[in-house]
Amino acid sequence: MSDSSAAAGVVGILGGMGPLATIDFMHKMLLATPAATDQEHVPVVVSSIPQVPDRNQAFRGDGESPLAALVASGRRLAGAGAQMVVMPCNTAHLWFDELQQALELPMLHLVDAALHDAVALAGPSARIGLLATDASLASGLYLNRRPQGAPAVQWLLPTAREMLDWVMPGIAAVKAGDLPGGADRLLAAALALKQRGASALVLGCTEIPLVLDAANAPLPVIDATAALAQRAVAWSLGQRRQAA
């Protein structure tokens, strides 16, 4: 009994942060794939183990590091035959380099994908708003990153008050399943950035596009989840073409 199903280009999704964002990422991979039958879709394996210590607490020094749990979850993907790993969680990218070193598998970086799409949409001289977690902002995850060949981005950030009242409670509401409550708060934060002069908005936490998107946002958005999903599909289709 042999398995003739092609095994090239298997994408590993290190998910569970949160589990709904993982599903959203998988859905955006489907939307980015030209396919009329099941068999034309991209092969993926997923480790959605939500028992990863809170990334924001760890960055503040209030809780244990998520690295061991991320490595363990990534090793599940290796055990399932993943050939490349993506991680649909912005804040977890604070541990990207250590994780990649431990896993010894290629990985695509979510922030690089989002930055390329942001500059392509808004142009290099535009002021771009950024909605992300406290840890993603304070660590410089977006602010200090500059992919090769990309111009510097002029960022516009929420105020400390807006983070406290709207962004962090909005993300927590989405994680708790209160999507309308999350939408209200994140929409308020998006409006404030627009009023201060943002011409586009990066949704830099995978919970945010679950409630804020091109249909209801008050300015053009760059969805970091979709940006990474498109790169993951392109990677897999490229591997499958090479293997065919």
Torsion of CA 188, 123, 231, 19, to 10 degrees: -10
Exposure of 69 in the CB half-sphere (CA atoms within 13 A): 16
Residue 57 CA to residue 129 CA, distance in Å, equals 24
Q: Which of 32, 67, 187, 237 binds its own copies (CB under 8 A)?
A: 67
Q: Which of 32, 49, 138, 188 binds its own copies (CB under 8 A)?
A: 49
If you search the block for the tokens 């039958």, which residue do you land on? 37
Cβ proximity to its own copies, 134 vs 145, nearer residue: 134
Report in angstroms how near the CB of residue 23 gets to its own copies at its nearest: 5
Q: Which of 77, 107, 114, 130 binds its own copies (CB under 8 A)?
A: 77
Is 130:189 a contact under the CB 8 Å cutoff?
no
**Is the preceding omega at residue 123 within 30 degrees of 0, hence cis?**
no
Exposure of 89 in the CB half-sphere (CA atoms within 13 A): 28
If you search the block for the tokens 């598998």, which residue do you land on? 105
The one segment of 47-55, 107-115, 156-164, 190-198 that binds its own copies by CB under 8 A: 47-55
Is 191:71 a contact under the CB 8 Å cutoff?
no
The one segment of 2-10, 185-193, 213-221, 229-237 that binds its own copies by CB under 8 A: 2-10
- Catalytic site residue from 10, 52, 89, 222: 89
Question: Does residue 162 touch its own copies according to CB under 8 A?
Answer: no
Is 96:87 a contact under the CB 8 Å cutoff?
yes
- Known catalytic residue at 89: yes
SS (H, E, C) 43-111: CEEEEECCCCCCHHHHHHCCCCCCHHHHHHHHHHHHHCCCCEEECCCCHHHHHHHHHHHHHCCCECCHH
Question: Does residue 19 touch its own copies according to CB under 8 A?
Answer: yes
Q: Which of 175, 179, 194, 234 binds its own copies (CB under 8 A)?
A: 175
The one segment of 78-86, 121-129, 162-170, 216-224 that binds its own copies by CB under 8 A: 78-86
- Known catalytic residue at 205: yes
Question: Does residue 147 touch its own copies according to CB under 8 A?
Answer: no
Residue 14 CA to residue 8 CA, distance in Å, equals 18
- Catalytic site residue from 205, 217, 221, 226: 205
The one segment of 4-12, 111-119, 124-132, 227-235 that binds its own copies by CB under 8 A: 4-12
Report in angstroms how near the CB of residue 177 gets to its own copies at its nearest: 7
Cβ proximity to its own copies, 7 vs 164, nearer residue: 7
Q: Which residues have a catalytic role annotated?
A: 89, 205
Residues that bind its own copies (CB under 8 A): 1-7, 10, 16-20, 22-23, 26-27, 30, 35-54, 64, 67-69, 71-73, 76-77, 79-81, 175-177
